[in-house]
Amino acid sequence: MHIHFIIHEAFEAPGAYEHWAISHKHIMSYSRVYLGELLPDDIDNLDFLIIMGGPQSPSTTQQECAHFNSLAEQSLIRSAIKAGKVVIGVCLGAQLIGEALGAKHEHSPEKEIGKFPIKLTQTGKNHPLFSEFGDDLAVGHWHSDMPGLTKNTQIIAYSEGCPRQILAYDKLVYGFQCHMELTNEVVEQLICHSQNDLSQATKYRFVDTPDQLRAHDYTEMNRKLFTFLDKLTLDYLSS
């Protein structure tokens, strides 16, 4: 299996997604756009396209952020979906999937930074790829926006602060507004680049302090993510 990551900033690292790929000895490649690396021009040899998060939004222009080309990423996403590849978006990546399919991203009702529970919808509870998530699951968050909904989008999970946490856009296409890939190492990088948001933690209902972020155990949500990815791989191979 060939897993390709689009990474917008060094501190928005693949984390547990990369650990999963390594554990299965998958081939990995990267478009670290913050280093000027190009998006893939040939998706035929890719199996998974995973688009990570970032401080940008889908409406960010190249004048505002020279290394981020939202329209080019959306075009790549559409091509990957059309070719029957697995496409997973995390945070900004999830919003880009929605935009690529014609659904505008929106501001989330609440800013969320930390580890807080998501709840599965009835659709989510009945979905075979999420059968081990239970009714609710504590996961990572680092956002203030959320992805848009197409007419066929299934909402798998929501939180008290955000109604769109996990979305199924298609059988092989998923958006995670939440960050189930967080590890202690990734969290430390995010803390270093989020001092302004974290300094105002007491102003928000769902923003942890740096000490709280460092104290969380992220292994259980990583394990649930691995189970989802294993099942998704089987769906892809059988499609």
Instruction: Give the CATH architecture of domain 2-234.
Output: 3-Layer(aba) Sandwich (3.40)
What's the mean pLDDT in 102-118? Answer: 97
Largest CA distance in the chain: 48
pLDDT above 90 (res 200): no
Percent of the chain with pLDDT over 90: 94
pLDDT in tens, 40-69: 999 999 999 999 999 999 999 999 999 999
Q: How high is the mean pLDDT of the chain?
A: 97
Distance of CA 93 to the CA centre of its chain: 6
- Concatenate the DSSP letters of all residues of the chain into one string: -EEEEEESSTTS--THHHHHHHHTT-EEEEEEGGGTPPPPS--TT-SEEEE---S--TT--TTT-TT--HHHHHHHHHHHHHTT-EEEEETHHHHHHHHHTT---EEEEEEEEEEEEEEE-HHHHH-GGGTTS-SEEEEEEEEEEE----TT-EEEEE-SS-S-SEEEEETTEEEESSBTT--HHHHHHHHHT-HHHHHTGGGSTEE--HHHHHH---HHHHHHHHHHHHHHHHHHHH-
Q: 2-26 pLDDT, tens per residue?
A: 999 999 999 999 999 999 999 999 9
The sign of the torsion formed by the CA atoms of 134, 165, 16, 225 equals positive
pTM for the predicted model, two decimal places: 0.97
User: What are the sequence ranges of the domains in the chain?
Assistant: 2-234
Average pLDDT over residues 90-105: 98
